[in-house]
Each structure stands twice: as C-alpha cells, then as structure tokens.
Amino acid sequence: MLTVAVSGNGYVSPSVGTHTYDEGTVVTLTATPAAGWLFDHWSGSVSGSTNPTSVTMTGDRSVTAHFVQTAPPGSKYRLRIGVRGEGSTSPGVGLHLVESGSVVTVTATPEEGWVFSHWSGDVSGSATTVAVTINSDTSMIAHFSTSGTVPEQCTELGYTCAGRGWHLLSLPGLICLPCREDSFGPLCCSLRDDVSTRRVDTYSSSGARWLVDPCFAKDYYPGMGFAVWSDDRQGIDARLENPDGPVEIDVAVAWTLIGSPFNYPIALQDVEVARGSLRRTLEGAIAAGWIGEYGFQHDVESGYQAFLLSEGVLEPWWAYWFRILEECTFIIPARQSDEQPKVFVPIEQLQQDGVELPPAVPPPVE
C-alpha cells in the first residue's frame, strides 16, 4: 500500500489517502501547491525536492509532500538548504523565508563516520559554519563524505546545454564522494541539484529503449552516456576526478553511448577494442566485424552527425553512439590529445547505403 499525505496547503497525485498497487509498480508522485504556497520537499519513503518524482512499490510505502508559504513580494527571500551524504544543518534542511538583508549563520554537522566536505550552490568553501547575507533567493547544499578527506584531484566541473532539446552527455571523470556511494545511484546524485532527474534518460542496450529517471540504476560506470533535456540553457555540474589509468568499458551487441571518462579529449586513434586475448584499434575492430564503421554524435540544432572512427577525438562531456556487432571491451587510455577535427559523413549518404542509424532521441519534454 502507498499512503500519501500533505503538510501545508497543496495537492498531490495520487491524492491524499491510501492506494493499493501491484508489487514492483513505479508510481509517479506530483505535488501542486495551492495559491500563496510552494512545494518544498518530500519525506518518508521519498526524499528530496524533485517534482514530479517516483516510488517503487517493493513494500508498503508512505510519502508526505511538504508545502511552505511564499514570501510577500519584496519583503522576504527564500533560503533553501540541502544535504548530500549523511549529516545535518542548522537551520535545518528545507526552505526558509528570510528578511531581505538578514545575515544567516548556517552550520553543517556530520553524522558519525562522516566528515563535512564543502558547500555548493550559491555558497562555496569548506568551513563548517558560514555567514550568508540574504539579498536574493539563495540555495546552498552541505556535502558530507565518508573518506575523511576530499582528494585534491576532485574538482567541480561544469557544462552548459545550449538550446532546447535532448543533449547526449557523459561525465568526464570518476564521480567523487559522497555521490559515488549515494544509495539512489551516483549519476542521479551528481545531477539532481541542477536538473530534475525526470529530465534525464539512460539507454538500455538490452531492452533497446530509453529509461526515464535513472535514480534507481546502480550500474553507472565512467564513460557511460545519457541524455539530458534542456528547455533553453541548462547548466549542470559534478564533482569529478580523472581515473589514474586506462578505463575499460564492456559492451554488448547493441547500440551503446560512450564518452571520454577523462576531463580532456581522447584521440579516436588511441582507443582500442579487446575481444578475448585479441586487441584492435577502432579501425581494426571495424575490419574484424566487432563494431560498426561509424560513430554518431547529436546536436540539438543539427540532429545526428556521422563520423569516421579513424580521426578526431572523444570530447569531454559529449557522448557518442557506437554500433556493437560482437561483445567486446572498449579500452580508453589516460592519454590527452590535441583537438582534432572529425571527418563527417552525410547522413543522407548513409541512408542511401542502407547503414543502420542510432536510436532516435527520446520524445520532447512538454
């Protein structure tokens, strides 16, 4: 059974009360504030402020949608405080209405076995206590880590999705703590402070279909591609570090999205493909019949573009389609390359030649 409740003034779908679903059903939860109120966060079996969100019925579940009153225009601003990892803040997590010009002292306190790492959002730095002057709506997130320290090589890297549409992306590096150990999956943890995970799709090679909201997908790996929907310009960031050696990506017979697992470009000529004890360059893998002849990238303005695998680079943040014909392993070296132009082939020519094109991007988000 799913029990739905409301705190404050607002509406939820499914409605307040108790609902019965088959085991394994994924139920979408939507919160709609009443006039003069706004949605703040979920509690119970679902947490965070993503709206809509979802809950998987693997047992009885209880969810509460929390709404808070909006400030009168010009008199107060909203201070939103969030947490990544295990810890608390004072004032607590959630939305606070603060008089314009007020100075709010915020303190982060880790749970046992965790340490405070840093602030992100509109506040930065690693001091556990910060004084924040509220002159506009402000958002801040306290990050906690189990490692005791944050590796110096971990860096907050960002990318801007320019233009309305689906952007095929890959995080350029290893996801750092605490998102690396997030129970809902590291990819979701890295993205959900910037974009609703309902606007993030991953591609299931085994099912040959797009999967909406990857929060419950625990199989993230460096170099994994995914799609992000942007209404116009959408900035995203993640705390990442470069792997200290080559990255191996096992791929099955299907279309697969792969990007650079490093924050620098990788020459296509340096990428190898292994099958058993045999290793080939991309061109050698094509000749052996392991992979398709072309790679594909996607741009919201131009759509799909095909390129030869003999020249060019895997650029950080971009994900590329590869057609896998035999189960094999991509080996991407930790070797930075100068920018090299790709050799593009007209899609129309490939269609005339009967070349299989990659899966279409998901439908537009309305």
Q: Are 334 and 244 in contact (CB under 8 A)?
A: yes
**Alpha carbons 44 and 56: distance in angstroms, whole number:** 13
**Alpha carbons 191 and 194: distance in angstroms, whole number:** 6
Q: Are 159 and 233 in contact (CB under 8 A)?
A: no
Q: Are 165 and 364 in contact (CB under 8 A)?
A: yes
**Alpha carbons 51 and 42: distance in angstroms, whole number:** 9
Positive or negative, the CA dihedral 289, 268, 303, 264 is positive
- Look-up: residue for tokens 């409301």? 6
Tens of pLDDT, residues 267-319: 999 999 999 899 999 999 999 999 999 999 999 988 999 999 999 999 999 99
Amino acid identity, residue 356?
E
> From residue 242, how far is each of 117, 245, 262, 335 by CA, in Å?
19, 9, 5, 11
What pLDDT, on a 0 to 100 scale, did the predictor assign at position 47? 79
| Domain parsing of the chain, residue ranges | 2-69, 76-145, 165-366
Residue 205's SS3 state is coil
**Alpha carbons 180 and 187: distance in angstroms, whole number:** 8
What pLDDT, on a 0 to 100 scale, did the predictor assign at position 151? 44
**Alpha carbons 61 and 84: distance in angstroms, whole number:** 23
**Alpha carbons 258 and 240: distance in angstroms, whole number:** 17
> Which residues in the chain come in under a pLDDT of 50?
148-151
What pLDDT, on a 0 to 100 scale, did the predictor assign at position 217? 53
For the whole prediction, is pTM greater than 0.75? Answer: no
**Alpha carbons 121 and 183: distance in angstroms, whole number:** 22
Q: Which residues contact 106 (CB under 8 A, 6 or more apart)?
A: 81, 89, 90, 91, 123, 129, 130, 131, 132, 140, 142
What Rg value do the Cα atoms of the chain yield, rounded? 23
Tens of pLDDT, residues 66-118: 888 765 555 778 888 888 777 899 998 888 888 887 889 999 998 877 788 77
**Alpha carbons 237 and 203: distance in angstroms, whole number:** 21
Residue 239's SS3 state is strand
